[in-house]
């Protein structure tokens, strides 16, 4: 679920309304919601590439000096959105190519979507709880 205020990259903007994604067997199968869902669906369809819908990678933000709000401070052409990708506690999931992470899938449609307020566990150990880093997982600048 992409919620209002989550970030849609490469569009470099905050989601204005919720989008429900259905993922099955590692591929996005449905994109449902209002305008934001229609926009995302139309963008991904324009590539005419089934691999655009594949899950590429996931991660979570650790940087205590990166901020969710930073994207709103810059002109979209003046940033690549690194704060959006790395602010502490976000859960980032991506679709499309995975060749830079050792995979073989290569498609020009790549979406990075940092989500707020998520709980994430790694090997059964929580690393974020409701969008907050668990003690001991922070990255110190």
The answer to the question of residue 59 being in a domain is yes
Residue pLDDT, tens place only, 50-75: 999 999 999 999 999 999 999 999 88
Confidence (pTM): 0.88
The answer to the question of residue 99 being in a domain is yes
- Count other C-beta atoms under 10 Å from residue 55's C-beta: 16
The whole-number pLDDT of residue 89 equals 95
DSSP string for 89-137: T-EEEEES--GGGT-----S--EEEEESS--EEETTEEEEETTEEPTT-
Q: Is the dihedral of CA 76, 77, 78, 79 positive or negative?
A: positive
The answer to the question of residue 2 being in a domain is no
Residue pLDDT, tens place only, 80-92: 889 999 999 999 9
Domain count of the fold of the chain: 1
- Residue 141 above 60 pLDDT? no
The answer to the question of residue 121 being in a domain is yes
The arithmetic mean of pLDDT across residues 110-120, rounded, is 95
The answer to the question of residue 36 being in a domain is yes
The answer to the question of residue 139 being in a domain is no
Range of the domain at 22: 7-133
Task: With cut-offs at 50, 70 and 90, classify the pLDDT of residue 139.
Answer: low
DSSP secondary structure letter of residue 66: -
Element (H, E) at 82: helix 82-86
């Amino acid at each position: 679920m992409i919620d209002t205020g989550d970030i849609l990259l490469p569009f470099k903007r905050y989601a204005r309304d919720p989008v429900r994604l259905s993922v099955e067997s590692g591929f996005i199968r449905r994109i449902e919601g209002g305008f934001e869902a229609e926009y995302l669906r139309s963008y991904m369809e324009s590539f005419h590439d089934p691999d655009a819908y594949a899950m590429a990678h996931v991660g979570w933000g650790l940087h205590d000096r990166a901020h969710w709000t930073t994207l709103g401070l810059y002109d979209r052409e003046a940033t690549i959105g690194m704060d959006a990708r790395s602010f502490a506690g976000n859960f980032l999931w991506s679709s499309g190519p995975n060749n830079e992470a050792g995979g073989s899938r290569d498609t020009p449609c790549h979406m990075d979507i940092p989500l707020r307020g998520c709980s994430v566990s790694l090997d059964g150990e929580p690393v974020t709880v409701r969008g907050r880093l668990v003690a001991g997982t922070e990255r110190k600048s």
